[in-house]
Amino acid sequence: MFQKWKDRVTVTDIVMWMIGGTLLLLCLWGSVSTIRAGLYTKSHWIDFLIFGLAQGSIYALIATGYTMVYGVLKMINFAHGEVFMSGPFTGYFVATAMWRSDFLDNHPIMAIVAIFAVAMFVSTMVAFLVEKIAYRPLRGAPRLIPLITAIGASFFLQYLFKGLYGSGVNAYPDIEILNGFWMIFGIRVLKIQVIVIIAAIVLMLVLYNFIMLTRVGKAIRAVSEDKEAAALMGINVDAMISTTFIIGGMAAGAAGVLYALMFKQVHFFMGFLPGLKAFTAAVLGGIGNIPGAMLGGIFLGLIESVAPALFLDGLGIIAPYQLKDAIAFTMLVMVLIFRPTGILGERLASKKA
Amino acid sequence: MTKAQSLWNQGVKIGAIGGVSVLIISLIGMVESFGKRDIIAGVLPMGVAIALIISILAAYMAAKKTPISDKSIQFANAVVSGLVISGFLAAFVMIGRSFNIREMLVGASPVLYSILTGGVAGAGGIFLLLLTGLLCGAFAGILYMLRDLPRRLTVNALLTIFILGLLQELILPILKAWDVGMINYLAGLFYTLNGLTPVGAILSVVIFCILYLLWNANQGAIKSKYAALPKEARKKSQIAALIVLAVILIVLPQFLGLFLSEVITIVGLYVLLGLGLNIVVGYAGLLDLGYVAFFAIGSYVVALLTSPQIFAFGLNFWQALPIAVICGILAGVMLGIPVLKMRGDYLAIATLGFGEIIRILVLSDFLRPWLGGAQGIGSIPNPNLFGFQMVKPQHIYYLLLAGIILVIFISLRLKKSKIGRAWMAMREDEDVAQAMGINLVATKLLAFATGAGFSALSGAIFASKIGSVYPHSFNVFISINVVCIVIIGGIGSLPGIVVGAAVLMGLPELLREFAEYRMFVYGVALVIVMLLRPEGLLPEARHKMEFHDETEAGAKTVA
């Protein structure tokens, strides 16, 4: 028995377990000492949690796009962060135009719907065109090639929008009805955060039901299962791949507007970090798995907002919030090492690891 | 669709693509900011030249893609697509002049409109624009109908003008540096301070044509003569060529000014980085997007050991250099271990994550007492060689040259060694390589370690060249730049890396207006190279074979 175990475990495994164990111990140690030191009150933690949920649900929406594209094409759509950026960046000009003409203050709901419509349309078009121009000619190429193309497309889009709309950071206009607080169960919560959470959850439910219940959704699932077999069953594979990009683009555009409404600013580089985080979320949930991406996104958002205070403050690290992104990336690497199939992904285990 | 319609489809479609492309480069401001630099002084600004090149290229493609091989239809298609392109631009100018779109599109300026309409106001300008499109299309159509030799001659002659005009800032100072009456006269004849003179342009076309025709006539004779030489003589001539190259490389900085030497050292740094990444990506096939981490480690180790700030170890550059390289190698192994089991895109993302983690850690206040935080570490002494201070970029150049030659030598030896073959086997198929008895763990770690060591060497030289290190110098763009160099140059090919670094790093430094569009152009270049020539500009012979094999096999399965 021991012999068998010894044969299977390599030195690198042991090193990895040691690293993982150390990190886990550090986190535990940090949490215990933070809580014992009582640096934060209960309302602080609740603030962290709600902010984390809001941010996480945005990540979750972006992550669905990554995960669906991975499902059908088995590639990381590196340019998805830019799809996310393009919508709200364009929406910004609509928003300011409406703000200047007082439409935004007089008909806030209609204005918000208009911003969403424009942003989702632009993001969808960008996603569709990227697939058509950059990825479609590369079907069946060695795997490194679409990845590099995707990186190229990502930079092209970033600097295209920088050139078109300018390199400044643009502040989204204030929308009166989204400001202020609500009291929920005696807890003061920012309105915008609650709205972001609810909107994202509704959108995710719609998306999930679309994929699970409609004929198109079924066809997309069939394509991600097996392209050749799907084609034999009379499914237009190229059209389904395009549809996947369109759905992903719509979700990213909506997520982008939510992000812009929450953080109140847009710029050409805004897609890079959320894009990477959403990818992390998709990996966390098990790439190719839609509910997994949603769970992963929310989990990542929570970790990002809670962990610096919980894990790092107790270890005596100065300014733990600077390390927020490092935590997310560490988690990405750890998940890739220890459970490349993610929380919910089992299906893809042998195929892609 | 009727038959008549389908004939014009390609013309309109390609014209639309070309129109959108020209519109994009106009809107992001490329045409306007390149308008300040002339290819031919006072006649042809560079921005316009680029727009014209795209239009002619699109029209040429339209002629080529015409479904039937009827000369007049092909010509007409080229003209149609030229007209469509200028139609797009004309519509844009008219819209821009009547509505205020500048609020949203910052590039849509009156200067741009005036460039596009040739400086003529009102309807005349629009007419001029359309006429230009028509002429571009007609030119492309004629070009398509020409025989092979005159066509190549025209295209290459035009390219010569473009390149000579583009490289004015490179060539002019070199000519001026001689300071001989004759050469000064020639320089004045060909160049103004802003591009070629019209006389210079015509002269260079004439000279080029003569040379080209001469070469064309004697090419076969020279080649067969060379092939007829005995083996030793051929080898001798190769060695002679190498010696000439070495002499040129050694005396080069003496003829370059300070600015050009600076550019050359930047190119050299990236060549060194590219050579290192080439081992990881090119030989072993592991896409590492966190490559900048090792560059940073090399820089910071040298900075910490030599700078009087923070620790004040007081070592000199030559003592710190091997330590930096060893630290880089160790870091390569340490970051390599966790990603051993990952492949392809997962590996790329995980290494990207590592690169960012290291940058964030260095930047954080938490590690500030040891690494200097956002302020970085300053006053790193210049390398001192036997009492000689290497201060100027020219001196660093020799340091880099030595490093590059060493790294090229190691790379070439490694490639032909057992390890090199193991790397390439692994690149092709990990499972098969393992089945053949290759120890994947050791092979992969060796690749990471070697690449990281080269990168750390480059970082060490970088730190002593700049004299200070900041975390902001080590962002993900460095990694992406290096990946671009390796891939656009040709994966696995050493000359490709030198060419890639010169084109991707050197050119933007020379064309300062270009710097703003650097990442944009990289993005486009990456996509286009991957779509049209996935093996890169100067591919390794073996890689090229693979790609063409694959496309043929792909074509067969489709058929």
**Tens-place pLDDT, residues A279-309:** 888 888 888 888 889 999 999 999 988 888 8
Q: According to the model, what pLDDT value does residue B558 have?
A: 38
Q: Is B370 on the interface with A (CB under 8 A)?
A: no
Tell me the residues of chain B between 93 and 132 that have a Cβ less than 8 Å away from chain A: 103-107
The answer to the question of residue B221 being in a domain is: no
With contact defined as beta carbons under 8 Å apart, do A297 and A281 qualify?
yes
Q: Which of residues 519-548 of B touch A (CB under 8 A)?
A: 519-520, 522-527, 530-531, 534
- HSE (side-chain half, CA atoms, 13 Å) at B414: 25
Nearest by CB to residue A144, choosing from B344, B363, B519, is: B344
Q: What is the 3-state secondary structure (H, E, C) of chain A?
A: CHHHHHHHCCHHHHHHHHHHHHHHHHHHHHHHHHHHHCCCCHHHHHHHHHHHHHHHHHHHHHHHHHHHHHHHHCCCCCCHHHHHHHHHHHHHHHHHHHHHCCHHHHCHHHHHHHHHHHHHHHHHHHHHHHHHHHHHHHCCCCCHHHHHHHHHHHHHHHHHHHHHHCCCCEECCCCHHHCCEEEECCEEEEHHHHHHHHHHHHHHHHHHHHHHHCHHHHHHHHHHHCHHHHHHCCCCHHHHHHHHHHHHHHHHHHHHHHHHHHHCEECCCCCHHHHHHHHHHHHHHCCCCHHHHHHHHHHHHHHHHHHHHHHHHHHCCCCHHHHHHHHHHHHHHHHHHHCCCCCCCCCCHHHHC
B550 touches chain A (CB under 8 A): yes
On whether any CB of chain B is under 8 Å from the CB of A8, the answer is: no
Q: Chain B residue with minimal CA distance to A275?
A: B349
Q: Looking at beta carbons, which residues of chain B come within 8 Å of A320? A: 366
Q: Is residue A52 in some structural domain?
A: no
Q: What is the pTM of this model?
A: 0.86
Residue A338 within any structural domain of the chain: no
pLDDT at B261: 83
| Pair B264, B141 in one domain | no
Total CB pairs under 8 A between chain A and B: 164
Q: Residue A95 and residue A244: Cα distance in Å, rounded?
A: 28
Q: How many domains does chain A have?
A: 1
CA of B109: which chain A residue's CA is closest?
Answer: A164
Residues spanned by the domain of A268: 58-298
Residue of A nearest to B282 (CA): A144
Which residues from B are below 8 Å from A15, CB to CB? 337
Which residues from chain A sit within 8 angstroms of residue B531, using beta carbons? Answer: 134, 137-138, 149
Put simply, the answer to whether A145 touches B534 (Cβ < 8 Å) is: yes
Last residue of a domain, one of B470, B493, B516: B493
> Residue B179: inside a domain, yes or no?
no
Min CA distance, B53 vs chain A (Å)?
Answer: 20
- Tens-level pLDDT at each residue, chain A (353 residues): 566 666 677 777 788 888 888 888 888 888 888 888 777 788 888 888 999 999 999 999 999 998 999 888 888 888 999 999 999 999 999 898 888 888 888 888 888 999 999 999 999 999 999 999 889 888 878 777 888 889 889 989 999 999 888 888 888 888 877 777 887 777 778 888 999 999 999 999 999 999 999 999 999 999 988 888 999 999 999 999 999 999 999 999 999 999 999 998 899 989 888 998 898 888 888 888 888 899 999 999 999 888 888 877 777 777 777 788 888 888 888 888 787 777 776 554 444 43
User: Which residue from B340, B519, B527 is facing A159, i.e. has the nearest CB?
Assistant: B519
pLDDT of residue B296: 93
Q: Are A148 and B487 inside 8 Å of each other by CB?
A: yes
Select from B493, B519, B540 the last residue of a domain.
B493
Is there a contact between B357 and A330 if contact means CB atoms under 8 Å apart? yes
Q: Which residues pair with B384 in a beta bridge?
A: B389
Specify if B60 maps to a domain.
Answer: yes
Q: What is the pLDDT of residue A352?
A: 43
Contact list, B340 vs chain A (CB under 8 Å): 12
The pLDDT, as a whole number, for residue B151 is: 86
> Taking CA atoms, what residue in A is nearest to B29?
A163
Residue A117 is assigned to a structural domain of this protein = yes
Domain annotation covers residue B197: no
In a domain? residue A24 = no
Q: B520 and A163: CB-CB below 8 Å?
A: yes
A244, part of any domain: yes
Does A168 reside within a domain?
yes
Residue of B nearest to A95 (CA): B104
Q: What pLDDT, on a 0 to 100 scale, did the predictor assign at position B555? A: 42
Residue B78 lies in domain: 1-145
Q: Which of these three, B126, B145, B164, is where a domain ends?
A: B145
Confirm whether A277 is domain-assigned. Answer: yes
Q: B499 in a domain, yes or no?
A: no
Of B344, B350, B356, the CB nearest to A143: B344
Residue A143 lies in a domain: yes
Interface list for A 67-86 with B (CB within 8 A): 75-76
Chain B residues inside the 8 Å CB shell of A319: 364-366
Q: Which residue of A has its CA nearest to B374?
A: A322
Q: Which of residues 420-439 of B touch A (CB under 8 A)?
A: none
Which pLDDT does position B559 carry in this prediction?
A: 33
Minimal Cβ distance to B354: which of A16, A283, A333: A333
Residues of B in contact with A22 (CB under 8 A): none
Within 8 A of A97 by CB-CB distance, chain B residues are: 103
Task: Look up residue A64 and give its amino acid.
Answer: T
Separation in Å, CA of B386 to nearest CA in chain A: 43
Count of H-run helices and E-run strands, chain B: 25, 6
**Long-range Cβ contacts of B538-542 (<8 Å, 24+ apart):** B538/B489, B538/B490, B538/B493, B538/B495, B538/B496, B538/B499, B539/B490, B539/B491, B539/B492, B539/B493, B539/B496, B540/B282, B540/B490, B540/B491, B540/B492, B540/B493, B540/B496, B542/B492
Mutate to test the interface with A, among B278, B530, B535, B549 (most CBs of A within 10 A): B530
Closest CA to A77 of A207, A247, A307: A247
| Contact: A19, B107; criterion CB under 8 Å | no
Q: Cα distance from B516 to chain A (closest Cα, Å)?
A: 9
Pick the residue from chain A with its C-alpha nearest to B551.
Answer: A141
A169 touches chain B (CB under 8 A): no
Residue B470 lies in a domain: yes
C-beta atoms of A76 and B357 within 8 A: no
Residue with tokens 């050694």: B250
Q: Given an 8 Å threshold on Cβ–Cβ distance, is A165 in contact with B106?
A: yes
Decide if A343 touches B, using CB distance below 8 A: no
Distance (Å) from the alpha carbon of B495 to chain A's nearest alpha carbon: 21
Please tell me if residue A143 touches chain B, with a CB cutoff of 8 Å: yes
Mutate to test the interface with A, among B281, B363, B366 (most CBs of A within 10 A): B366
The verdict on residue B426 lying in a domain is yes
Q: How many domains does chain B have?
A: 2
Alpha carbon A13 to chain centroid, angstroms: 30
Q: In this complex, do A12 and B337 lie within 8 Å of one another by their Cβ atoms?
A: yes
B524 and A156: CB-CB below 8 Å?
yes
Q: Point out the residues of chain B with pLDDT beneath 70.
A: 1-5, 178, 387, 541-559
Q: ipTM of this model?
A: 0.83
CA-wise closest residue to B471 among B379, B367, B393, B399: B367
Contact criterion met (CB < 8 Å) for A163 and B340: no
Note whether B29 contacts A: Cβ–Cβ < 8 A: yes
List, as ranges, residues 300-359 from B with C-beta within 8 Å of A: 337-346, 348-350, 352-354, 356-357
Contacts of B357 in chain A (CB under 8 A): 326, 329-330, 333
Report CB contact under 8 Å: A159, B480.
no
Q: Is residue B264 domain-shared with residue B138, that is, in the same domain?
A: no
Q: Give the chain B residue whose CA is nearest to the CA of A75.
A: B345
- Is there a single domain that holds both residue B265 and residue B117? no
The answer to whether the Cβ–Cβ distance between A326 and B487 falls below 8 Å is no
For chain A, positions 93-132, list CB contacts with chain B under 8 A: 93, 97
B322 to chain A nearest CA, in Å? 27
- Given a contact cutoff of 8 angstroms between Cβ atoms, the answer to whether B31 and B25 are in contact is yes
